[in-house]
Amino acid sequence: MSKTLLIKKKIKQFNKKIKVSGDKSLSIRWVLLASQAIGKSKGYNLLMSEDIVAALEAIKKLGIKVRVHKGYCEIFGNGINGFKYENNLTINAKNSGTLGRLILGLLIKSPKKIKIMGDKSLSKRDFSRVTIPLEKFGAKFYYKIKNKLPLSILGSRSVKGIKYLENKGSAQCKSSVMLAALNASGTTSIKAKKSRNHSELLFKYLKIPTKIKRTKKYDFIEIKQPKKIRAFNYQIPGDISSSAFFIVLTTLANNSKLLIKNVNINPSRTGVITILKKMGAKISLKNKKNYRGEEIADIVIKSSNNLKAINCPSKLNSSAIDEFLIIFLVAAKAKGISYFKDISELNQKESPRLEWGSKILNMMGIKTELTKHSIKIYGQPYLEIKKSIIIKNYLKDHRIFMMSTIAALTCGGQWKIHDKDSINSSFPDFLKIIKKIGNK
Ligand code: S3P
């Protein structure tokens, strides 16, 4: 199979119904929490992408039995801090920042050194954002290159709750400390800038003693060490971040309609819907329901030929953090100049996404003004690309690949997009679904 995707034609008008794979954040959290429960937990519709397979491999190396079946997965937890493993253990978090950072929280009591490594992209990302708070619990970290993987962690015997201020709006940092709190006697208090709250909802559902007070900008979370976590079954809903590519595909296509079934619409994740609606996209939510605190709905999208620029309020940044690349594409086709600010965190992702987003738009003939923390996009509603565009050397960032594919299918031109296998980290079915939508 060629590793390069060639696209020479725009997608034709469509009216389709699809289902996207399970949510990545919830899948990783389910794997890690089930590993701390006592007995057999079953996860349905688990995302079977490379990030999650890496999570399953990691807990297996830590002595947890895992069985993968068609449609579901079983994890046989050994209880909190119940990992059993040999000396000189290495865990490979591959491309997953969420796995690499969250699992450290579960290892703060590990009596033997454990090495954590990752792929080229993950090895460029900052780990001090989690090791600094985890050091406060008494864990020790050893880096070869400052703040970068590979690192080794050595836990502490006695761990007490800490006070922690999470000021980046990072759910990975918050969740890493929340998982560490399972091992800490007494209370761990976290003041966290708003970010996705899946860990909090799971803690509540599992009856882990957790108090949450919400203010406009911060959440105050208090966790008391639980005696144990019961095994639990969980049905993972569809991923809004994967859905976002199809929301934009439909928005920018000609006279088309799409229904996406059973997607997680947790308000801490739906910034993309709010932003695109403000820009004139036609998106509605049907069959809303609540599953263990998580909101779920079917999403209906219709094409829109009247998109307008946005001055995006920064308060929406955290709930759209993984969707900015694809939102930039809508800004490229909107009337007027869009402005996105305070988004330097985008350069901390699988690739420096703010830079890459701007670079791809420039290749498409769109003018941008870029700073370290903002971008202005000069939209061209009648943009028709005529030239060839090659996308490569982007650290195999799955979302760069998917954004480029949607750009090719909606804006024209001849595109050659390298490293097709990048989609395997979050959304192996992406191209299959594109085919299904494109087939008559
Ligand atoms: C995630 C949090 C976000 C997001 C990532 C998944 C999570 O990262 O970008 O894809 O599951 O907690 P940050 O917490 O670094 O913003």
The pick from 26, 28, 94, 170 for probing ligand 1's pocket by mutation, whose C-beta has the most ligand atoms within 8 angstroms, reads: 170
Give the Å distances, CA to CA, from 382 to 113, 306, 308, 334, 410: 58, 11, 13, 9, 11
- Expressed in angstroms and rounded, the spacing between residue 306 Cα and the centre of ligand 1 is 32
| Active-site residue flag, 322 | yes
- Active-site choice (23, 219, 298, 322): 322
Please give the distance, rounded to the nearest whole angstrom, from the Cα atom of residue 175 to the centre of ligand 1. 10
Determine the residue of 172, 194, 200, 264 to mutate for testing ligand 1's pocket, defined as the one with the most ligand atoms within 8 A of the Cβ atom: 172
Q: Report pLDDT for 181.
A: 98
How far, in Å, is the centroid of ligand 1 from the Cα of 344?
14
Q: Judge if the beta carbon of residue 304 lies within 6 A of ligand 1.
A: no
Closest to 330 (Cα-Cα) out of 349, 313, 305: 305
CB of 322 sitting under 6 A from ligand 1: yes
Grouped pLDDT means (10 residues each) for the chain, 440 residues: 90 98 98 98 98 98 98 98 96 98 98 98 98 98 98 97 97 98 98 98 98 96 98 98 98 98 98 98 98 98 97 97 98 98 97 98 98 98 97 97 98 98 98 95
Q: Are 353 and 347 in contact (CB under 8 A)?
A: yes
pLDDT, residue 409, reads 98
Residue 291's pLDDT is what?
98
Give the pLDDT confidence score for residue 384 in this predicted structure.
96
At residue 1, the pLDDT reads 52
| Separation of CA 121 and ligand 1 centre (Å) | 15
Q: Which atom of ligand 1 is nearest to the CA of 349?
A: 9
pLDDT value for 2 = 66
E-assigned strand segments in 303-407: 311-312, 337-340, 367-370, 375-378, 385-391
Instruction: Report the SS3 class of residue 292.
Output: coil
Cα(266) to centroid(ligand 1), Å? 14
* pLDDT given for residue 440 in this prediction: 77
Nearest protein Cα to ligand 1, atom 9: 322
Pocket test for ligand 1, best of 24, 52, 195 (most atoms within 8 A of CB): 195
For ligand 1, is residue 270 a contact (CB within 6 Å)? no
**How is residue 250 written in tokens?**
């439909």
The Cα–Cα gap between 31 and 42 comes to: 10
